Amino acid sequence: MSDLRPVVASEQVLALLGQHFSAPISDLVSVEGGHASEQVLALLGQHFSAPISDLVSVEGGQVARTFAFRANAQEYIIRFNHDTMLDSNLPKEVYLMRKFAGTAIPLPPILHVGRVGELHFAISCKMPGQMLEMFSPQEVRDLLPQILDILAAIHGIDVSDTQGYGGFSDQGRGYFPSWSDHLHMIAREEAENDYFGKWYRLFDETFLERDLYQDLYRRMCDLLVYCPEDRSLIRGGLSLRDMLAQDGKITAVLDWLDASYGDFVYDIAVLDFWWPWLGVRSTDACTYPAQVGRFRRLKKIMSEQEGLEKASFSSPSCSSVKNQKCLAKYERAEALSYKTPTPAPFIH
């Protein structure tokens, strides 16, 4: 784009943003009014030669703070994301954009990434359409074949030049030695500056019950032996908020920070777990006929990383960040032991 200037923000802008965006992104969601917008405008002024107009906050994300704006007649998006979260950095999407070159995967073009203090930011083109959660159930069901085609394209990306499982860096390096090890991460503490951090203290400080959590985790471990160590690129936690559509066509798949390496059936199980009304199970039987057994098994231990956190933030009982994280841990563990209506034959 001719109106984009890839320059480094001045020290003055960095200082201003450091004052107003020093809190974790989860806290920044509550920042409202023109004051924060002024800082975003100051940053954008360093990167665009055209005047910035129509700057508005965009709702929907939990990790990133997002704004939409115009420069000339073009619409753009800028996202801010806390830099310290292990595999949720925005340069990872630039890596994926290059991987997806020449494919039909609708990842919005990223024009610039940079850092502001402890934040990553990314500027991308705004894609047309509305989030799928705004559509009626029947309209979303009509889009399901396109969704599955996009997932199949993602799963078909060549990852033979990469290593590891689970989340990966902006160089494509996975953080875990196996798929099983990635799934076991649900019971481990994270780095202090990651989302859950040193969360074991929640057993003592909140309503998180150690015995119940450990029982759910044990049931998950019993099922892990049935999961193959296949390795594909997976979208991870695909949500109806992460897809845009217009005129009967999927126009964009957003927010790739949860992309991982692992068993591609995980993506299909995520859809069926959170939106059973989509009818993914019957569609999956036609689209992935050799994978039905894996689909049923993996569904019992999936979704410990993405949608469960989203559900926790909608609970009226979660008035504090600590309680939000506690409930998210419960929900993660509960989903890991999720039982389908028709149990797979190996269940004793």
- With b for 16 or more beta-carbon neighbours within 10 A and e for fewer, the 24-62 pattern comes to bbbebbeeeeeebbebbebbbebbbebebeebeeeeebb
**For the segment 232-249, what is each residue's pLDDT rounded down to a tens digit?**
999 988 889 999 999 999
The pTM for the full model equals 0.72
Mean pLDDT, to the nearest integer, of 87-101?
A: 85
Question: How far is it, in rounded angstroms, from Cα 64 to Cα 255?
Answer: 9
**For the segment 317-342, what is each residue's pLDDT rounded down to a tens digit?**
334 445 444 555 444 544 444 433 33
Residue 148 has pLDDT above 50, yes or no: yes
Residue 129 has pLDDT above 60, yes or no: yes
Residue 262's pLDDT is 94
Burial class (CB in 10 A: 0-12, 13-18, 19+), 309: buried
**For the segment 23-76, what is each residue's pLDDT rounded down to a tens digit?**
332 333 333 334 467 788 888 888 888 888 888 888 765 567 888 999 988 899
Distances (CA, A) of 56 to 63, 75, 76, 226, 268: 18, 11, 11, 47, 34
Residue 265's pLDDT is 86
**For the segment 249-299, what is each residue's pLDDT rounded down to a tens digit?**
999 999 898 899 999 988 888 888 888 898 887 755 445 544 544 555 555
Look up the CATH architecture of domain 130-336: Alpha-Beta Complex (3.90)
Least confident of 30-34, 70-74, 95-99, 101-105: 30-34
Residue 223's pLDDT is 83
Question: How far is it, in rounded angstroms, from Cα 186 to Cα 231?
Answer: 19
Question: How far is it, in rounded angstroms, from Cα 348 to Cα 345?
Answer: 8
pLDDT confidence of 231, banded at 50, 70, 90? Answer: very high
Phi and psi angles of residue 234, each rounded to the nearest 5 degrees, phi first: -125, 145
User: Domain 11-125 adopts which CATH fold?
Assistant: Phosphorylase Kinase; domain 1 (3.30.200)
Residue 124 has pLDDT above 80, yes or no: yes
Question: How far is it, in rounded angstroms, from Cα 19 to Cα 5?
Answer: 24
Higher pLDDT, 314 or 97: 97
Domain boundary assignment for the chain: 11-125, 130-336
Residue 306's pLDDT is 37
DSSP string, 33-47: SHHHHHHHHHHHHTT
Q: 247, 224, 194: which is closest to 83 by C-alpha?
A: 194
| 8 Å CB contact between 22 and 118 | yes
Continuous segment of H or E residues that includes residue 115: strand 110-116
